[in-house]
Chains A and B, each alone.
Chain A
Amino acid sequence: MIELVLEDIWSPIVFILVILLTTLVAYLLYKMGNPVYNRTKHKGEPFISGNRPPKDIRKIHVAGDNLFWGFTDALKNYFEPLVKSHTGKLNDYLYWVVITLAVVLVYIYMAV
């Protein structure tokens, strides 16, 4: 007998069935929508808050750096030292190993 429930707390099969059922209901509601809607009008045109789309298609795309700029800028006091500590220098990598060794050895000597 295949175990379908994980530790009596979670069954992905039930979850997927619920998703399928919900999708079916959504589809039925969609089918009840306005049948005279013109599907071809504005098809494929991006909507940028009412602004006219730029001619260069690349300018429509939001680049990687832009996406969480607000988040990282607001938390720059955390991010700046964190990024700076990743120097890429081998000496620093070894310092971190030595520091961790020292801390863990002292802790194990005291606590274990």
Chain B
Amino acid sequence: MSFDIMLHTPTFALAVPLLFAFLTILLSKFSKKVGDVTFLLGLLLTGYFVFLMSYRIFTDGGWVYTFGAEEPITLNFFRITFIADGFAALATITIAITAIAAGIYSFGYLQKKMPSDKFYTLFLLTLGGVNGMVLTGDLFNLFVWFEVTSVASCALIAYENHRGRSVEAALKYMVLSVVGGLIVLFSIGLLYGQYGVLNYALLSGNISRIFLDKLALGLLLVIFAMKASSVPMHMWAPDAYGEAPGPATPFIAITSLGSLFVLFRLLFGVFGVGMDTAAVGAVLVILGVLSMFVGVTMALVQDDLKRLIAYLSVSQVGYMTMAVGVGLATLNTVEYQNFGELAMKGGFFHMINDGVYKALLFLSAVTVVHKTDLRSLNDLGGLAHKMPYTTVFFLVGAVSIAGIPPMSGFSSKLLIYRSVYLYNPILAVIALVVSIITFAIMGKVFFNAFLGPDQGLTDGEVSKLMLSGMAILTAMVIVFTLFPGLVVSELVTPAIEALSEGVIP
């Protein structure tokens, strides 16, 4: 029997970061350099297996990777499944790109600021956890990965524990995560008690409009929306993103994006068949509009650089939620062909875009704070004189998040405007207004922090490793900018097909 490594890539995408998380801290005890190399190796290997898995998905189609019993069964048999389909490929690629860039950045950052071994371990544990969340094919497994991600990212937020604010942010994140985890477990219990199965595919065949199913749907929807920092449950996000140690910030934001991927998987793959998708889609649309508008207007009044970008991140989550909500609301209708599918394309394209340019903005902001020890826009100014590369990286991220043509953010937003207009023109108007305000905010940040006379706040650029992390993300933004058609046809469309066709049994 030959060993087909491609077939086992989903489990490697989980096992490698988990294994290397513990190897890193173990080997760091012998030598810091060995620990650093182990971390980098773990990160790159995870990325390698994610890209191998995605390659197989795009060439041969998706498959279900199973531990335990081979056939779907109902009771008393051990069976853990991971779904490797177009949707999983989109999610894991987004996570991997950000993780690799933030990981490389962290090398330079941690050399001066703080001990690195535990940071690397927590970073890899979070990576394994969030990969598990988006790849898993059953609900209890989802709960396990949800908890792994929550515990590891909570510890990451509190990593600079000499700062009271970090610990406070981590405490808030932990309480909300624990409450969220318990509610997720309760809703899993409801479904398991009702049908005796936890597998997505088996559940989707059983779900109907009975009270307990509706209760489970509502609970899961709200908790994963909260973890995705959707308004009005977003308030933990600026605290967590603002106080997490520099290189961890974009990665904590990516765990939120991971929760959004899970939410969409559950709504389409588990509840999409038996429920009224128009009504559930409307909930997403409302949450999306609230997130867009409240997020961007709260960003407008911020003067703390990291909190400002955190609120913009909340606003961007709104775009994705609204667009996918329109897709869900029109699922299985003629309107899906007319504009629902286009909204989904816009939403998912925006997810990968947002994952990359948001990480770039966070890393640029962290670079500014790292070099100047200042966070307030009232105190910053003239950084472009001494930090030209960081200025360019920030500018690329800023024009992209603001949706300025020809940047990638514009491409995905264009699809969203065009499709949601046909669902309800007011949504498109709100999305446009939010985009304009985002542009104004980015103008304010760029003007305040980077332009103006040199105020002598920094002695120069950061290390080449830190610049490399930002350069990787900038390169990805430019690729997405130049070839949006390619990204949508090769990466986004397979994800949408995988979702709309339901979960592979």
Contacts and interface: CB of A to CB of B under 8 A. Distances in A.
Interface of A: 2-7, 9-13, 15-16, 19, 46, 57-58, 60-65, 67-68, 71-72, 78-79, 82-83, 86, 88, 90, 92-94, 96-97, 99-101, 104-105, 107-109, 111-112
B275 to A, nearest CB: 5
Contacts of B490: 3
Given A68-B440, A79-B301, A111 B235 contact: no
A90 B345 CA distance: 36
Interface stretch (B72-80, B447-455, B496-504): B447-455
A6 B485 contact: yes
Chain A contact residues: helix, strand, loop or mixed: helix
Given A7-B342, A93-B236, A96-B235, 15 more contacts: A12-B411, A13-B482, A15-B406, A63-B448, A64-B445, A83-B298, A86-B298, A90-B176, A96-B232, A97-B226, A104-B221, A105-B219, A107-B279, A111-B282, A112-B214
B362 to A, nearest CB: 18
A88 to B, nearest CB: 7
A49 B19 CA distance: 63
A74 B422 CA distance: 33
A83 B297 CA distance: 10
Interface string B223-267: 001100000110110110000000000000000000000000000
B141 interface: no
A93 to B, nearest CB: 5
A13 B478 CA distance: 12
Nearest to B489: A3
Chain B contact residues: helix, strand, loop or mixed: helix
B233 A97 contact: yes
A82 B234 CA distance: 13
Given A97-B179, A112-B275, A112-B276, A64 B376 contact: yes
5 contacts: A3-B483, A90-B176, A101-B222, A104-B218, A108-B280
Interface residues of B, number: 67
A99 to B, nearest CB: 7
Nearest to A107: B283
A61 B453 CA distance: 7
A23 to B, nearest CB: 14
Interface centre among A7, A61, A105, A107 (most CB of B within 10 A): A7
Interface of B: 171-172, 175-176, 179-180, 183, 209, 211, 214-215, 217-219, 221-222, 225-226, 232-233, 235-236, 238-239, 275-276, 279-280, 282-283, 294, 297-298, 300-301, 303, 342, 345, 376-378, 380-382, 405-406, 411, 414-415, 418, 440, 444-445, 447-448, 452-453, 455, 481-486, 488-490
Contact of B297 (A62, A82, A96, A97): A82
A102 to B, nearest CB: 9
B233 A96 contact: yes
Given A63-B377, A67-B447, A111 B279 contact: yes
Contact of B235 (A86, A104, A108): A86
A64 B303 contact: yes
Contacts of A57: 453, 455
Nearest to B486: A3
Contact of A67 (B415, B448, B483): B448
Nearest to B235: A93
